[in-house]
Amino acid sequence: MAQLFFHYGVMNSGKTIEILKVAHNYEAQGRKVALMTSSVDDRSGRGVIASRIGLSRQAVAIDEDFDLFQYIEQHDRKSDFACVLVDEAQFLNKAQVIQCARIVDELHIPVMTFGLKNDFQNHLFLGSQYLLLYADKSEEIKTICHYCGHKAIMNLRIQNGKPIYEGKQVQIGGNESYYPVCRYHYFHPQNH
């Protein structure tokens, strides 16, 4: 039975390598996947899923008006997708999360989404909020705190080596802009 999955974690927890691994495993068995990512994160190019360890793949770029259900419904007739994989799922809007649920419920194709749960101010991203509500299964991808090695549960935004706690929710960046941290070091990054 198809299900909607939300795999979430902090920055640098391996979400992207996990989605690339899942795609590879399906394709190694001769099954087709629909690989998608938000157009918001274009560091490696529009429609590119790229991991920090150097692996990357082309994917369908999802912008704010993109209808995931319509795309899969139209393309599945000739592609026979075994799974839909969505990276950077925190950037989905409510309608797109519901479209993911419809792909599962009406087209009977599993949808696996991967993304951040919370931003650097510890607010849920919109896509994450609705994925936590609509997903059949949610699973945390874990990593350790940049400072102490305890479990990281928050994203600390850094600018010029200093923590930033205010600003726009979305600022695309990698290791130069964000650290995965535990709760203690989120509030006390100087104590390491």
3-state secondary structure of 100: helix
Report the distance separating Cα 45 and Cα 48, nearest Å: 6
Of 27, 64, 88, 106, the active-site residue reads: 88
What the block records as the tokens of 63 is: 């912008």
- Nearest residue to 114 via CA among 2, 22, 24: 22
Asked if residue 104 lies in contact with residue 132, where contact means CB atoms within 8 angstroms, the answer is no
Give the number of other CB atoms < 10 A from CB of residue 86. Answer: 31
88 catalytic? Reply is: yes
Side-chain-facing half-sphere of 2: CA atoms under 13 Å: 18
Residues marked as catalytic: 88
